Amino acid sequence: MRSTMIKGIEWMRLAIAAVVIILLGLLAFSETPNERRAKAINEALAKVDVAPARLQSLREQTEWILRNTDLSEEPYVEQKISLDRLDIVVTDDSFSNITKTGRANAIYDPGLKVIFIDQFLLRPTDLTYLGTDGPAAASSESEFGFWNTSLSFVIAHELGHHAATDAASAFFSVDWLGRSPSEVDAEIAADAYALATLSRAYADPAMPEALVNENALFFFGLDLSDLSGAERAAGDIIGALKGMTLMMQFSSGPYSPFYQDKAHPSFLERIRMAIEGLSIGSESIVHGQSPILVEETRRQQLAANRRFVEIQAPGPIARVVVGSDNIFVAVRSLIQNRGDEGLGAIHRLHLHDGEEEMRFELVDTENIAPAEDEDPNAWIEGRLGQLAPGSGTEGFVTEPGTAKTIRLFEALENTASDELMFFGEGWAFPGGDQRLVVSTETAQATIRSYLGVDRVELGPPFASASEMIFPTYFPDDKLFRTVSVIPSPEGTTAKSLFVFEQDGTVAVSEPSILVGEATTPFAALFSPKDGWIDVEGARWAGTDWMVPGRASSEDEPYVWKLYRGRGVGGWVTQSRERLLADYIAETGEASFGRDLDPQGASLLVLDEHVVLVWYDNDTVWLSTPDRTVPIFHPASSFLRVTRIDKSRVLFWISNATKAYLVSIDN
């Protein structure tokens, strides 16, 4: 009897459990797919760490935009969504499988009525590191105020999709190749909606404090108080779009300004349409500044039309050198990458697999972080010196106190130019067991004394046997010539030389140097008919000298030229093009608050007639006897250009996670 009762109780428990399971199953199946997804998203959002101050700033920015739309519903800006309202939330790319929002992107989801914004768009941490040669940030976020305006444009764009009841749409995209022309129109319409909304919003006296203090008007060298509502909108939006282009080019987001598909015009094309769509009076300050942005966009688009491969590096790039059939890419860990601060790794990028199938292979990892007073790049440079000795990268500015015109990188903090080594104090003469080093200042003083002139400018020297050939410019006479400098223990000229022993120590010694005319075939004598020579960019091209110059007159304002020749005759002007300053105004004033005065003339000779020419803050040009075309833009002062072979070069900057392998022959 007792056994029967126990069995009955057990069966009853099992029956109750079965009923509970069935009820839970029915409850689960009673939830719609959107309800189940919303629940999963809310669980993910609870793990996203957003500073309260940033969330409040986003809330104020959204309210300001909303006041100037025709939307009747107010979006909630909280870290939780509900299916009965419009929500704006900050997400993280680690949950992109749920939110469908990748890094540095935003998306409107009509099924959930949610605008997802990746937190990188609120705090683009990469920007403070880009261009710095180390693991520490060199600038503050306040220097990138254009990002506040960029975020406004993103929010207004996604609200435009909501207002038009569009399908799900991301602000950036790389996988929409199957989309229809109507979806292209939807993207353009959403941009137009954003521009119209923000044009009204900038007339709103109650602007968010973040936008008042930090915006994109620094591109124009202006302040909000200088402009009316329409001008504020035009200047800030155009500046923000330009800033976004620069950020997208090298930051860790997966999108570039060049990519386009059937649903999304390239960001460069979106900028062009935005500039055309803004209402700017012909007398507006902003209108007078817009030609340079149009021209910069044109140059970027021309460069993007070339055959290139956008490389996503495995981390922030520290150094790049070329080995046989591959590239060594050294990356470092940065604070925002949640790595050990200062640790580095070296990867091999195989080129022989074909450009579309390039892959990274880990070669070595730095295991011990550098000491506080140690160079954070020491391990990287030492290992690269072992893996690819003698390799160089055009674009590295030397340390303070060294020759600023030298732009070649080599391991161990030395600088190489055609077998010559630069050791911080000067150039080492080629050959011999010891390295006799002459400083640029000594060479200048000796040449001035020898030739009896007051002023002389020197370019980086060229090695010939045991002598150095210095490209030399005499500004008073506007004369370019080449001068030979050789060591002579019996000489009586200048005596400011150093002797570097093989173990790297410096011996106290004062051997002399002698100066004379460069011998054939390096002898050169040339005087431009107009303008002047930028001698720091002069390079020997195997058969001729390549010498950059500039002109700035009423007839030819802000033009660069490339002269080619040798000896006393036969010089030709291989190329000439306009510099960006020419697109601001006839005399180049009002330069967007940026320094557009061309500096740092650089040449990278690929063969005797093919050369890359660039100036800081301008454009990298491909120059041949037949054509001159933009091949990369912009040529910022911290741009690195690595020669892969005669037909390919790699463009990158320090701490960037993107690089561009560009073909020369198309």
Band of residue 574 on the pLDDT scale cut at 50, 70, 90: very high
pLDDT at 502: 34
pLDDT at 663: 87
Q: Which of 152-166, 370-384, 617-631 has the lowest mean pLDDT?
A: 370-384
Band of residue 289 on the pLDDT scale cut at 50, 70, 90: low
pLDDT(142) > 70 = no
How far apart are alpha carbons 520 and 373 in whole angstroms?
A: 48
How far apart are alpha carbons 89 and 78 in whole angstroms?
A: 6
Band of residue 547 on the pLDDT scale cut at 50, 70, 90: very high
Query: pLDDT tens, 103-112?
Result: 888 899 988 9
Band of residue 148 on the pLDDT scale cut at 50, 70, 90: confident
Tell me which of 411 and 203 has the higher pLDDT: 203
pLDDT at 436: 62
pLDDT at 480: 92
Query: pLDDT tens, 313-368?
Result: 888 998 888 876 678 999 988 755 444 456 889 999 886 655 556 788 999 998 88
Band of residue 8 on the pLDDT scale cut at 50, 70, 90: low
pLDDT at 611: 93
pLDDT at 340: 47
pLDDT(396) > 50 = no
Q: Which of 31-40, 499-508, 576-585 has the lowest mean pLDDT?
A: 499-508
- Please check whether residue 113 is in contact with residue 133, taking contact to mean a CB–CB distance below 8 angstroms: no
| Pairing mode, strands 435-438 and 599-605 | unpaired
Q: Is 49 exposed, middle or buried (CB count within 10 Å of its CB: 0-12, 13-18, 19+)?
A: exposed
Q: Looking at 244-365, which runs of residues are DSSP E strands?
A: 308-312, 317-322, 326-332, 344-350, 360-365
pLDDT(659) > 50 = yes
Structure tokens at 71: 């939307």
pLDDT at 407: 30
3-state secondary structure 175-199: CCCCCCHHHHHHHHHHHHHHHHHHH
pLDDT(88) > 80 = yes
How far apart are alpha carbons 412 and 534 in whole angstroms?
A: 29
- Please check whether residue 528 is in contact with residue 561, taking contact to mean a CB–CB distance below 8 angstroms: yes
Band of residue 576 on the pLDDT scale cut at 50, 70, 90: very high
pLDDT at 499: 35
Beta bridge partners of 569: 566
Structure tokens at 402: 């060294």
- Please check whether residue 614 is in contact with residue 623, taking contact to mean a CB–CB distance below 8 angstroms: no
pLDDT exceeding 70 applies to what percent of the chain? 69
How far apart are alpha carbons 100 and 110 in whole angstroms?
A: 13
pLDDT(450) > 50 = yes
Band of residue 664 on the pLDDT scale cut at 50, 70, 90: confident
pLDDT(458) > 80 = yes
Query: pLDDT tens, 606-657?
Result: 888 899 999 988 899 999 999 999 999 888 878 888 888 888 889 998 888 8
Record the pTM.
Answer: 0.79
